[in-house]
Amino acid sequence: MKVKKFKGSTMPEVMQVVRKELGADAVILNSKVIHEGGFLGLFKKRKIEVLAAIDQTKLPKKKNIVHKKVTEPKPEVNTKNLSPNQEDVLKELREMKQWMQKNATKDLTFKLPYQLAYDHLMKQEVDQEIAYELIDSIQERFNNDDIEESKIWDQLSFEIKHRIANKGTFGGEIFDKQFIHLVGPTGVGKTTTIAKLAAHCVLNRRKKVAFITTDTYRIAAIEQLKTYSKILDVPIEIAYNVDDYKKAKEKFQDYDFVFVDTAGRNFRDEKYIKELGKIVDLNHDVNTYLVLSLTTRAKDLEDIYKQFDKIPIKQLILTKKDETITYGPVLNLCLKYKIGVAYMTNGQDVPDDIEEASIEQIAKLIVGD
């Protein structure tokens, strides 16, 4: 038996080296996260350490013996008189069997049933490193023992909530500044979201509200916000440049909240951020929220966030929750950039289709019921 220790930055990287050196028949004895290097105990790098083994015993060659394949009759299961609980168990067993048949030849990162949870996170587009850390932490907590699948989902939900709890503020109704800016790429629903927030403040909190729009690139956006201003009976000002913006701020100085709609542009164009800063003041006496669509690809969401990293973003507002079933990118953003989520929108109706975000909600969306 040859036993060897391997290290790498990610689990897939380590597994590739294991297969290269020990072959496809190698057995993973143990895996864990370690931190090494650094200077005076600081700046240590995270590594994955795997202990693998291979049996080197030379086995005698097998003779070519022809065996007749005997097909055993499959036992029939009578499902007519099963209780609801028994039917659920039978369903889970069938799903487990299908999964095992599908993955019989695939290299597993974790032992069953931890692998099921890991695969689920990957389908939810959770970052691979984050998914590995979550499942590895649960597996380590139970000393790599086999546990019930339902318990793993409970532990996964707990682990997600625990990790994002201190990364930022979650939930809305925390406007602590008079001027509230919404920024983000085009097509994410900033104008509709502003109308929902303003309607909530006017109808539910009895606040004095006004609108400023700097989205002069789209006539439709101006007309849309004008329509909302008439419905809510709140004033609106259009700012074509920084002087217009300053005048509008002075005009609405006595209002409780002033919601500022900004132009949505191609997020990959660095000029957009610079132009935005020339028209509105994003650094003084304002709350700025980055509006992102949940239908956007995970990689693009991170690229968008990085484009706005020079702006003091208070929280995220996530739109189009009703148009996707993939929520892993939310977890990626929260953990990687230590940012919280204020609201999620789930439709076009104003003011109804908006809800405060919470760590419980995010965990449930990712893990499922």
- Residue 93, pLDDT > 70, answer no
Distance from C-alpha of 61 to C-alpha of 127, rounded to nearest angstrom: 45
- Residue 125, pLDDT > 80, answer yes
What pLDDT, on a 0 to 100 scale, did the predictor assign at position 62? 45
Higher pLDDT, 171 or 50: 171
For residue 140, report the phi and psi dihedrals to the nearest 5 degrees.
-70, -35
| Least confident range of 50-54, 107-111, 149-153, 214-218 | 107-111
What pLDDT, on a 0 to 100 scale, did the predictor assign at position 70? 47
Query: Strand 209-213 vs strand 341-345: parallel, antiparallel, or unpaired?
Result: unpaired
Per the CB < 8 A criterion, the answer to whether 344 and 365 are in contact is no
- Residue 146, pLDDT > 60, answer yes
What pLDDT, on a 0 to 100 scale, did the predictor assign at position 260? 93
Give the residue-averaged pLDDT of 124-136.
94
- Residue 131, pLDDT > 80, answer yes
What pLDDT, on a 0 to 100 scale, did the predictor assign at position 350? 84
Maximum mean pLDDT: which of 37-41, 66-70, 187-191, 347-351: 187-191
Quick: pLDDT tens for 284-303: 678 899 999 999 999 999 99
Q: For residue 120, what pLDDT band results from cuts at 50, 70 and 90?
A: very high
Q: For residue 331, what pLDDT band results from cuts at 50, 70 and 90?
A: very high
pTM for this prediction: 0.70
Higher pLDDT, 100 or 91: 91
| Least confident range of 54-58, 167-171, 233-237 | 54-58
Higher pLDDT, 93 or 120: 120
Give the residue-averaged pLDDT of 252-276.
77
Higher pLDDT, 36 or 264: 36
According to CATH, the superfamily of the domain at 179-367 is: P-loop containing nucleotide triphosphate hydrolases (3.40.50.300)
Give the residue-averaged pLDDT of 196-213.
92
- Residue 273, pLDDT > 90, answer no
What pLDDT, on a 0 to 100 scale, did the predictor assign at position 76? 55
Maximum mean pLDDT: which of 62-66, 75-79, 91-95, 101-105: 91-95
| Least confident range of 73-82, 246-255, 260-269, 341-350 | 73-82
Q: For residue 16, what pLDDT band results from cuts at 50, 70 and 90?
A: confident
Per the CB < 8 A criterion, the answer to whether 55 and 1 are in contact is yes
- Percent of the chain scored above 90 by pLDDT? 41
- Residue 71, pLDDT > 90, answer no
Higher pLDDT, 108 or 148: 148
Give the residue-averaged pLDDT of 82-110.
62
Q: For residue 67, what pLDDT band results from cuts at 50, 70 and 90?
A: very low
Mean pLDDT of the chain: 81
What pLDDT, on a 0 to 100 scale, did the predictor assign at position 63? 45
